Amino acid sequence: MRLFVGLGNPGSRYGGNRHNVGFMAVDAIARAHAAQPWRRRFQGQAGEALLGGEKVVLLKPETFMNDSGRAVGEAQRFFKLTPADTVVFHDELDLAPGKLRVKTGGGNAGHNGLRSITALCGNEYRRVRIGIGHPGHKDLVHGYVLRDFATDEQPWLDDLLRAVADHAVLLAAGDDPGFQNKVHLAMEARGWGEAKREAK
C-alpha cells in the first residue's frame, strides 16, 4: 500500500493557487484511476484507488499547509505505513515551470508543508517536486505562491498533470526514476522543451 499526499490549502479561495499544485496532481490521479469518491478522513479529504494492482490512499490535508504533517501522520499510523511508503506532491520554486523531479529525503527549502511532515513523520518520504518557477526575489515568494496560475501557464500545467496521472502507476510500484523519465518524455513530446519554456 502507498500513501499519495497532495499539498495545498483548503477552500475555493486557494483552489487555483500555485501553492495548490499538489492538490491538483492528486486530483488528476484520482480522476485517471477511478478512485473512490473523496470523503473526510485523517483531517483531510481521502480516497482510494488501484494503480497497477497496488492499493493507493490519496490524501489532501485540510489542516492548511503549515500543519500538513498532522494529517499525514494520522493516515500513516492508521494504515501502519512508513515514510518510504509515502509520496508527497508539492510545488517547487527552484524548478522551472513544467519541470518535475522525484527525490527521497533531503532539505525542505523553506516549504512549510514539507517542514511540518518532516517534523511529525520523519524525513525519508518520497517527494514529487513540481516546478512553478521563482518570482525572482525572496520577498515576492509569499504573494507568488498564493496567486493563481496565469492563463498562459494553463497549457503546460494541464499537460504536466495529465502526464503525472498517466504514469503514477510507476510511482505506486516504487519506480521513481521510471516515473520521472516518462513524465519528462511526455512533456517533451507535447512541445514543452527547454527552448520553448525559456522563450516564453
The single residue of 19, 33, 90, 167 carrying the catalytic annotation is 19
The grid cell for 159 is 499537460
Largest Cα span, the chain: 48
Q: How many CB atoms lie within 10 A of CB 57?
A: 24
CA–CA separation, 48 and 50 (whole Å): 7
Question: Three-class SS string for 94-121?
Answer: CCCCCCEEEEECCCCCCCHHHHHHHHHH
Q: Which residues contact 87 (CB under 8 A, 6 or more apart)?
A: 2, 3, 4, 5, 125, 126, 127, 128, 171
Active site residue 19: yes
Phi, psi (rounded to 5 degrees) for 106: 95, -175
CA separation for the pair 85, 68 (Å, rounded)? 17
Catalytic residue numbers?
Answer: 19
